[in-house]
């Protein structure tokens, strides 16, 4: 992990302690940028060197550090990413509290694309004793977004490269009823009853969930790292950051141990675009402290990953 800039961060936090949370509004009527500190649990900023999980500071001191980090993050994101095309939610991974946000109606279910694939895989696993088949992705001929295909893939590689061909195979016999228990387990909105097949892997618009529910589903996924099927998915998210669709995160934010999942989904706001890119990032791998969900208007998921990495870099700076 790259060295953290303790002195620069301390100066930033000292300055921000004299300021209120920053805000900005958008032409599209999106809410102002917010910052909110966790009220309990471990500090979300241990990865930045502000606090360590097992330190002996008082709750007041820990909450103060978290509050300052939230203010710092909100200001950095507002200043450096003012575009109305970028929506985001930054959460404390231990408490689930929102630290900073700019997202219009984050409680409204929307198409979320391939960010649903980890939960689709777990739904399949429940029906098949968590035994996942291998598959040969041949690209366009087997329905993948990559024209030449990904070749031989298992679940971990399919998550890392967001292989549509693999998930078309995996969901061929799945119905909405088959994924409902998994959706409930992770707090996701359920797909419409008519949804089936690849629609249950985020291809299409029949399984929608709210950004807020999605973030908490990923936090629960990390908490269940020891449960059947979950380790393969988290390994895939780590591989995504190294060499898959989420590799742009690492190029912009050179910390190798992050978890990333990307997706592209139908655009649901104006002005309309062919699609929007999504990326969810958890830092660091072994014990995530923060979660960042980003949506970028009119780009694929890999480009949203680049923006997420740039945002994390600015937060660290």
What is the mean predicted confidence (pLDDT) over 160-180?
97
pLDDT exceeds 60 at position 8: no
Sheet containing 259-265: order of strands: 34-35, 98-102, 86-92, 290-297, 276-283, 259-265
What is the pLDDT, as a whole number, of residue 59?
56
pLDDT in tens, 118-129: 999 999 999 999
Structural Rg of the chain based on CA atoms? 19
* 147: Cα separation from own chain's centroid: 26
pLDDT exceeds 70 at position 92: yes
pLDDT exceeds 70 at position 24: no
What is the pLDDT, as a whole number, of residue 272?
87
CA distance 58 to 61: 5
pLDDT band at 91 (very low <50, low <70, confident <90, very high): very high
Instruction: Please count the other Cβ atoms lying within 10 Å of the Cβ belonging to residue 28.
Output: 13
CATH topology of domain 84-316: Beta-lactamase (3.40.710)
What is the pLDDT, as a whole number, of residue 278?
98
Mean pLDDT, rounded, of the chain: 84
CA distance 44 to 213: 19
At 113, list the tokens: 């694309």
CA distance 36 to 99: 5
Question: 164 preceded by cis ω (within 30°)?
Answer: no
What is the mean predicted confidence (pLDDT) over 218-229?
97
Residue 31: exposed, middle, or buried by beta-carbon count in 10 A (0-12, 13-18, 19+)?
Answer: middle
pLDDT exceeds 50 at position 29: no
Query: 258 by DSSP, 3-state: which?
Result: coil
pLDDT band at 17 (very low <50, low <70, confident <90, very high): very low
Query: What does the chain come to in residues?
Result: 317
pLDDT band at 58 (very low <50, low <70, confident <90, very high): low
pLDDT exceeds 50 at position 83: yes
What is the pLDDT, as a whole number, of residue 247?
95
pLDDT exceeds 70 at position 209: yes
Residue percentage of the chain with pLDDT more than 90: 72
CA distance 64 to 70: 10
pLDDT in tens, 252-280: 988 778 999 999 999 998 888 999 999 99
Q: Residue 41 contacts by C-beta under 8 Å, 6 or more apart in sequence?
A: 92, 94, 95
Residue 225: exposed, middle, or buried by beta-carbon count in 10 A (0-12, 13-18, 19+)?
Answer: exposed
Q: What is the DSSP string of 179-191?
A: HHHHHHHHTPPPP
What is the mean predicted confidence (pLDDT) over 139-167?
98
pLDDT exceeds 50 at position 231: yes
What is the mean predicted confidence (pLDDT) over 174-198?
97
- Domain spans of the chain? 84-316
What is the pLDDT, as a whole number, of residue 317?
77
pLDDT band at 63 (very low <50, low <70, confident <90, very high): low
In the DSSP assignment, the letter for residue 172 is: T
Residue percentage of the chain with pLDDT more than 70: 79
Q: Residue 100 contacts by C-beta under 8 Å, 6 or more apart in sequence?
A: 33, 34, 35, 36, 70, 73, 74, 77, 88, 90
The pTM assigned to this predicted structure is 0.83
* 167: Cα separation from own chain's centroid: 19
pLDDT exceeds 50 at position 44: no
């Amino acid at each position: 992990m790259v060295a953290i800039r303790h002195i620069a961060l301390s100066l930033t936090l000292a300055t921000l302690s004299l300021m209120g949370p920053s805000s900005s509004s958008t032409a599209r009527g999106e809410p102002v940028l917010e910052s909110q500190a966790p009220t309990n649990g471990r500090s979300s900023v241990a990865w930045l060197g502000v606090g360590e999980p097992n330190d002996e500071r008082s709750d007041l001191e820990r909450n103060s550090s978290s509050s300052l980090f939230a203010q710092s993050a909100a200001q950095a994101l507002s200043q450096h990413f003012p575009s109305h095309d970028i929506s985001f939610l930054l959460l404390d991974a231990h408490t689930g509290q929102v630290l900073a946000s700019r997202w219009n109606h984050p409680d409204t279910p929307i198409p979320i694309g391939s960010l649903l694939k980890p939960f689709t895989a777990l739904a399949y696993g429940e029906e098949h004793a968590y035994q996942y088949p291998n598959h040969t992705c041949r690209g366009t001929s087997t329905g993948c977004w990559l024209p030449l295909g990904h070749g031989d893939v298992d679940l971990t590689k399919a998550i890392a490269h967001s292989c549509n061909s693999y998930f078309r195979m995996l969901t061929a016999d799945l119905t909405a009823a088959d994924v409902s228990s998994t959706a409930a387990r992770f707090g996701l909105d359920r797909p419409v009853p008519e949804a089936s097949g690849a629609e249950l892997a985020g291809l299409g618009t029949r399984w929608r969930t709210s950004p807020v529910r999605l973030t908490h589903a990923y936090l629960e996924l990390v908490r269940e790292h020891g449960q059947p099927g979950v380790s393969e998915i988290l390994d895939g998210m780590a591989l995504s950051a190294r060499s898959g669709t989420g590799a742009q995160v690492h190029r912009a934010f050179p910390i190798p141990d992050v978890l990333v999942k990307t997706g592209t989904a139908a655009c649901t706001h104006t002005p309309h675009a062919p699609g929007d890119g999504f990326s969810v990032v958890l830092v660091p791998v072994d014990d995530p402290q923060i979660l960042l969900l980003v949506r970028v208007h009119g780009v694929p998921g890999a480009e949203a990953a680049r923006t997420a990495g740039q945002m994390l870099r600015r937060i660290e700076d």
